[in-house]
Structure formats: C-alpha cells, structure tokens
C-alpha cells in the first residue's frame, strides 16, 4: 500500500532564509503547532536522528535521510512497519522569492490510515513558515 501527497506555497524569502528555519530543528515549534517537543541528536545532516512529540501523542524518532543546504531535506519515520517519508524542498524563484514544497510518500500496511493524519496540517504549517520567513 502506498499513499502520496504534496503541497507548496510561494514566499517572499530567499532559499537561504528558509534554510535557516529548516536547519534550526529546535525552532520548528515556532512555525509548526503539531510539535510539542523536539530534540535533534547530532548535526543537521543525513543520518542524524531526532525525537519529536506531537501534542497529546507519544514521541517518535525520525532520521534525516537527505540534507542539501538551501535546497532540501528529507526525514523518514517508521511506525509499526509503515514508512513515512517527508521531503521539504526549496525552489528558488526570481527576485528573492522561493517556493516551499512538502511532499510525502507513505508505504506499508497503514499508509492509507496514516497519510491524512500526517499531512492534515501541511497547509497551516506552510502558511506559518511563510509568515516567519517573510518577517
């Protein structure tokens, strides 16, 4: 079973400005209300893990699988045999603008069940990230 989803938003911010927000894992709570607690266990680099706890839920561990400065990062979480991969991309546009893209691929037995839950707040997260990046 596989489930995919993608959303994007344009921001009046450079890729470097957005990257500063992406690479500051402890600061993700400033633009993502789906995080109650988060802790990274090393540098913001491929292979590093982080622990994240959504409000009212148990914490889970994710791993950074791809990190390309000012371009993109991908994290992977495996829960009971279902793999959740979220790609966070930055596309440079003209005049200091960027497109921020969140794309998700979920595979495994609970993909259809987990997919909508994982992505339901993407629009509000992108709007908050845009406001912070533009501020």
Q: How far apart are the first and last CA of the chain?
A: 41
SS3 of the chain: helix, strand, coil, percent, to 5: 25, 40, 30
pLDDT at 8: 98
In a domain, 73, yes or no: yes
Beta bridge partners of 134: none
56: phi then psi, degrees, rounded to nearest 5? 75, 10
CATH of the domain at 126: 3.30.530.20
Count of domains observed in the chain: 1
Q: What is the mean pLDDT of residues 23-32?
A: 96
In a domain, 130, yes or no: yes
Sheet with 98-107, edge to edge strand ranges:
2-11, 98-107, 82-92, 72-79, 60-68, 49-53, 37-40
pLDDT at 59: 94
Query: Does the predicted TM-score (pTM) go above 0.85?
Result: yes
In a domain, 59, yes or no: no
In a domain, 46, yes or no: no
In a domain, 127, yes or no: yes
What percentage of the chain exceeds 70 in pLDDT? Answer: 100
Q: What is the mean pLDDT of residues 128-134?
A: 97
How does pLDDT run across 51-110, given as a tens digit for each residue? 999 999 999 999 999 999 999 999 999 999 999 999 999 999 999 999 999 999 999 999
Range of the domain at 112: 2-24+64-134
In a domain, 78, yes or no: yes
């Amino acid at each position: 079973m596989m489930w995919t989803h993608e959303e994007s938003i344009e921001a009046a911010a450079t890729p470097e400005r957005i990257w500063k927000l992406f690479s500051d894992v402890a600061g993700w709570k400033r633009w993502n209300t789906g995080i109650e607690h988060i802790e990274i266990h090393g540098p913001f680099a491929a292979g590093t893990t982080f622990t994240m706890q959504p409000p009212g839920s148990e914490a889970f561990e994710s791993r950074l699988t791809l990190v390309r400065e000012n371009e993109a990062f991908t994290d992977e979480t495996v829960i009971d045999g279902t793999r959740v991969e979220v790609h966070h991309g930055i596309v440079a546009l003209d005049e200091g603008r960027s497109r921020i893209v969140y794309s998700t691929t979920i595979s495994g037995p609970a993909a259809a069940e987990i997919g909508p839950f994982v992505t339901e707040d993407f629009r509000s997260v992108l709007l908050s990230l845009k406001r912070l990046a533009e501020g």
